[in-house]
Amino acid sequence: MRTYSLIISFLLFCLSGHAQVTEPSRQPWYVPEHAVLQTAGGIGMIAGGVGYALGAHRRFDADVLIGYVPGTYTGDRAFGIFTLKGTYSPFTLPVDTHWQIKPLAIGALINYTPSQMLNRSRDDKYSYKNYYWWGSTVRLGAFLGGRVGYGFNTRTGRKRVASAYYELGTNDLYFVSLLTNTKGLALGQILTLGLGVKVDF
Amino acid sequence: MQVSGLLGMCALSSCGLLEFSPNQTLVPAAERQLTTQNLIRLTSRPKQESDTLRFVFIGDCQRFYDEAEDFVASVNQQRKIDFVIIAGDISDFGLVREMRWIHHRLRKLNVPYLTVIGNHDEVGNGRAVYESVFGPLNYSFVYGGTKFICLDTNGREYGFQGQVPDLGWLGKQLADTANTRRSIVLCHVPPTDEDFDPNLVQPYARTIRSSRQLVFHLSGHIHRFTNGQPFHDSVQYLTAYNFRKRHYNILSVWGRRKFNLETVAYAPAL
């Protein structure tokens, strides 16, 4: 028992010592780096979530969001929409010491709307093969966008960025509609706009 | 404040860009309850029972936007058309944007158009979307002494539970012949199709047969024109071309149960 206490004490000592030598901003890998809040873009009237900035130059954002669409917009009960999103921003243009612009963002997302209101299309309802080839609850999306960020230091000296972004995109079903109607549909008719903010923790 | 915020959002989303979900139902007020809107337009041009009624019959415009524009151009060149009937499958995926895309083309018709819900319009949140954009799934109207009974026959979308089509409602509508001389039934899935509730095929045909003033039964779904008496009971069942076929029918109805059928081909605009 005494030995066990000693080991625990030693581990605690090591951990605290380790914490002292590490940069204060360093978090365990699984702790999200930023919070995100978005409206529209097909993922909710309001969608909130967290994400990570990945890669050597932190050009790749991976976000997970939960969106809410109130019943006023669905005809009955509210929708919850679960979204995974990846965004690649290859360029960062510093404007001054605080402001920065990411003029181009390329991204893709997948979302799931597990609402009972959605009549499922893949219940093998129809005997002919691939009659309903899409799923009514899962959507794939792609978008182009941009982002404006403001960098600042916290009182502990950690550097944080708050940014606002837009995403002009579409989903798989709209895109398929455009593909088969090159004359009757215009690109502008299949677009959706998403607006959001991201703040580093 | 919250209400004005919501209204502001609504105004922004009316341009279509700010979309909360592709399955949302809300549309600008001008594009809501189109069945009622079209019926108001139709009845503003009253027609005598003794006049010949003439209307366009086509179905399944789902994801055929190129063709929709050519269809409108062709119908607008026809003379003495009272209205257009779309026998279901307005959309392919049951999405509000699809129904609006079709409406934005069909609203250029010189005459009103009326629809019935198709199986594709019931996928996803389609039923609620159809109710928001067009109106009730089962409805009837009277024009020129003719009663049109439009109903949901997409039984497979309800898992063949024996509730769709609503035979009780259909029977009542067929029995109520006050101030009408003729009746016409319009639906999407014809009773001869495997997507019609198999347990209701014979009861449905019996109900249809019970009408003494039925001119014919109209439906879509199979994407081709057919005209026959599949139940060998003297009841004429017609199915419509889909938009892809670039053909439509003009049906003229007069007298007690007389009708004439024309077929029109429409070419792509040059």
What CATH number is given to the structural domain containing B59?
3.60.21.10
Q: What is the CATH number of the domain that holds A139?
A: 2.40.160
Residues 30-59 on A with a CB inside 8 Å of B are: 39-45
**A183–B66 CB contact, under 8 Å:** yes
Band of residue A44 on the pLDDT scale cut at 50, 70, 90: very high
The reply to whether A52 falls in a domain is yes
pLDDT of A154 reads 81
Burial class (CB in 10 A: 0-12, 13-18, 19+), A32: middle
Identify which has the larger pLDDT, B35 or A9: B35
pLDDT band with cut points at 50, 70 and 90 for residue B38: very high
Closest CA to B151 of B115, B200, B182: B115
Q: What is the pLDDT of residue B230?
A: 98
Hey, which residues 118-147 in chain A have their CB within 8 Å of chain B?
118-119, 121, 125-127, 132, 134, 136-137, 139
With 80 as the cut, is the pLDDT of residue A7 above it?
no
Q: Is residue B5 part of a domain?
A: no
Could you report the predicted ipTM of this complex, rounded to two decimals?
0.90
**pLDDT confidence of residue A191:** 97
Q: What is the pLDDT of residues B211-240, one digit of tens each?
A: 999 999 999 999 999 999 999 999 999 999
| Residue B4 parent element (H or E) | helix B2-14
Pick from B230, B245, B243, B146: which is nearest to B196 by CA?
B230
Which of A14-18, B44-48, B85-89, B134-138 has the weakest average pLDDT?
A14-18
- Report yes or no on A16 lying in a domain: no
Tally of domains in chain A: 1
Kindly state whether residue B258 falls inside one of the protein's structural domains. yes
pLDDT at A129: 66
Residue B123 placed within a domain:
yes
HEC string for chain A: CHHHHHHHHHHHHHHHHHHHHCCCCCCCCCCCCEEEEEEECCCCCEEEEEEEEECCCCCEEEEEEEEEECHHHHCCCCEEEEEEEEEECCCCEECCCCEEEEEEEEEEEEEECCCCCCECCCCCCCCCCCCCCCCCCEEEEEEEEEEEEEEEECCCCCEEEEEEEEEEEEEHHHHHHHHCCCCCCCHHHHCEEEEEEEEEC
Contacts of B101 in chain A (CB under 8 A): 177, 185, 189
B1 lies in a domain? Answer: no
Over residues B163-192, the pLDDT tens digits come to: 999 999 999 999 999 999 999 999 999 999
Residue B115 lies in a domain: yes
Which of A45, A76, A192 lies at the smallest CB-CB distance from B17?
Answer: A192
Convert the pLDDT of each residue in A135-169 to its tens digit. Answer: 999 999 999 999 999 999 888 888 899 999 999 99
Distance CA A115, CA A117 (A): 5
Interface touch A121/B129, C-beta < 8 Å: no
Name A63's bridge partners. A51, A85
**Which DSSP helix (H) or strand (E) runs through B38?**
helix B34-43
Please give the mean pLDDT across all residues of chain B: 93
**Is B175 part of the contact surface with chain A (CB cutoff 8 Å)?**
no
Q: How confident is the model at residue A119 (pLDDT cuts 50, 70, 90)?
A: very high
Domain assignment of residue A18, yes or no? no
Instruction: Label residue A40 left, alpha or beta by phi (over 0 means left) and psi (-120 to 50 means alpha).
Output: left
Element (H, E) at B70: helix B65-75
Confidence at B267, pLDDT banded by 50, 70, 90: confident
Name chain A contacts of B242, Cβ cutoff 8 Å.
Answer: none
Note whether residue A3 is domain-resident: no
In a mutagenesis test of the A interface, which of B9, B17, B19, B196 is the best target, namely the one with the most A β-carbons within 10 Å? B19
Nearest-angstrom CA–CA distance, B126 and B95: 6
Q: Are A47 and A32 in contact (CB under 8 A)?
A: no
pLDDT of residue A23: 44
Name the residue facing B18 among A40, A67, A183 (closest C-beta).
A40
Q: Would an 8 Å CB–CB cutoff place A185 in contact with chain B?
A: yes
In a domain? residue A159 = yes
Q: How far is A198 from chain B (nearest CA, A)?
A: 19
What is the number of structural domains in chain B?
1
How many angstroms away from the CA of B26 is the closest CA of chain A? Answer: 5
Containing structural domain, residue A121 = 28-200
Quick check: is A163 in a domain?
yes
* Pairing status of strand A192-200 against strand A138-153: unpaired
State the count of interchain CB pairs (< 8 A) between A and B.
Answer: 124
A19 inside domain:
no
The whole-number average pLDDT for the span A42-54 is 97
Going by the DSSP 8-state scheme, the letter that residue B157 receives in this structure is: G
Distance from CA of A104 to the nearest CA of B (A): 19
In a domain, B135, yes or no: yes
DSSP assignment string, B16-33: SSS-S-TT-----GGGS-
pLDDT more than 90, % of chain B: 90
Domain range spanning residue B73?
28-265
Cβ neighbourhood burial of A114 (10 Å; 0-12, 13-18, 19+): exposed
Whether residue A175 lies inside any domain: the answer is: yes
